[in-house]
Amino acid sequence: MAYIKPTAEYSDWDGERCIILRGVSDFDAYRVFDCGQSFRFNVENGVIDGVAMDRRIKIKQEGDTLYLAGADKREYDEIWESYLGLDEDYEAINADVCEKFGVYNGVINDAVKAASGIRILRQEHWEALCSFIISQNNNIPRIKKIVETLCRELGEKFISFGEECHAFPTPEAILAAGIETLNAMKMGFRSKYVFDAAARVVDGRIDLKAIENMSFYEGEEYLMQICGVGKKVADCTLLYGYHKTEAFPVDVWIKRVLEKYYPDGIDFDGLGKFAGIAQQYLFCYERYINGERETNK
DNA sequence: ACTCAGGTACTGC
DNA sequence: GCAGTACCTGAG
């Protein structure tokens, strides 16, 4: 059975333009924005609020109904449907993931069930690269704090919902600001990496657009030219910034998952086209579901 | 004081 | 190749 995209209807939400999506399946907005793939969204009173694609958006979900405030029909069709991954058939993806990982054991079935509703967002190239350079050897609250400072200081201003907001800064703006400005943002040793990446993008040594047409392996090698970009950051950039879903970033959590559930090792080349989505299920399963249970002991 | 955090570069075998 | 180590910073 073919996937049926949720239908969007125009409405309003507290006087703001708003899109309502009914019949949303395999989508849990709160989980999507709380699984460490994006750093510019916050949840307050059940509303997910943040900036992406140079726009602010507020999101709330009640069952299979999704409300997007700050977007009209055209913006939904052109931007948010794709950004949120609502154009993808996750039922089919989940089946593929369970098949590929299922040759080892049934852990993936539990993870997909427990962490259902996860989506891989389609973030912008530069924002993903820059954010994941900052993420290295760092924790999520501090990553968010640094990214917010970076945006507030160097991102283009705009007004939304009556408040000043900031786009993610361009590499040009970061280059022009200089490394001392980045140091003042408490990036620590990552300042020089962010600066190096910005410099390479501005002078053309790195062509972010060209990566779209590269294979996953080519893209990985290409991104790793940047100082401060190793395999993990490159894989995250390709997965979250280029939607190359075969990327399987191995961080400390996934390392633990592999040791715990796949002690005899796995064949990374046989994980299929959606390995990165499986990675998200396993990450979420171990960190937020099993993890919390363990810490409550 | 110490460890840890969604890693990476550098060093020494 | 592969293990060991330093690295900014802030929270626990």
**Are A32 and A57 spatial neighbours (Cβ–Cβ below 8 Å)?**
no
Residue with token string 């995250």: A236
Mean pLDDT estimate for chain A: 94
What contacts A172, CB < 8 A, 6 or more positions away?
Answer: A198, A202
The model's pTM = 0.96
- Judged by C1' against the alpha carbon of A193, the nearest nucleotide is B8
Q: Under DSSP, is residue A5 helix (H, G, I), strand (E, B) or coil?
A: coil
**Are A47 and A59 spatial neighbours (Cβ–Cβ below 8 Å)?**
yes
A133: tokens are 């350079």
What's residue A297's pLDDT? 27
Residue A60 phi/psi, 5° resolution?
A: -140, 155
- Judged by C1' against the alpha carbon of A183, the nearest nucleotide is C8
Q: Which nucleotides in chain C lie closer than 7 A to a protein CB?
A: 7-11
- Residue-wise pLDDT for A244-259, tens only, equals 999 999 999 999 999 9
Tell me what the mean pLDDT of segment A110-139 comes to. Answer: 97
Measured torsion, CA atoms of residues A280, A44, A145, A170, in degrees rounded to the nearest 10: 80
Tell me what the mean pLDDT of segment A149-170 comes to. Answer: 97
Q: How many angstroms separate the CA atoms of A22 and A243, rounded?
A: 25
Tell me what the mean pLDDT of segment A183-197 comes to. Answer: 98
Catalytic residue numbers of A read 232
A12: tokens are 């309003």
More confident residue, A215 or A294: A215
Share of chain A above pLDDT 70, in %: 97
Task: State the pLDDT confidence band at A294, using cuts at 50, 70 and 90.
Answer: very low
* Interatomic separation, CA of residue A252 and C1' of nucleotide C5, rounded (Å): 18
Share of chain A above pLDDT 90, in %: 90
Tell me what the mean pLDDT of segment A28-42 comes to. Answer: 96
Tell me what the mean pLDDT of segment A109-132 comes to. Answer: 97
Q: Which of A68, A57, A75 is nearest to A24 (CA)?
A: A68
What's residue A296's pLDDT? 30
* Interatomic separation, CA of residue A38 and C1' of nucleotide C9, rounded (Å): 21
Which residues of the protein are close to the nucleic strand B, CB under 7 angstroms? A 35-37, 135-140, 142, 189, 224, 226-234, 236, 249, 251-254, 279-280, 283
What's residue A1's pLDDT? 60
Q: Which nucleotides in chain B lie closer than 7 A to a protein CB?
A: 4-10
**Are A10 and A51 spatial neighbours (Cβ–Cβ below 8 Å)?**
no
Specify the long-range contacts of residues A73-77, CB closer than 8 Å, at least 24 apart.
A73/A8, A73/A10, A73/A19, A76/A8, A76/A19, A77/A8
Mode of pairing for the β-strands spanning A65-69 and A55-62: antiparallel
Q: Residue type for A93, please? A: I
- Say how many CA atoms lie within 13 Å of A162 toward its Cβ: 3
Tell me what the mean pLDDT of segment A73-94 comes to. Answer: 96
* Interatomic separation, CA of residue A240 and C1' of nucleotide B5, rounded (Å): 21
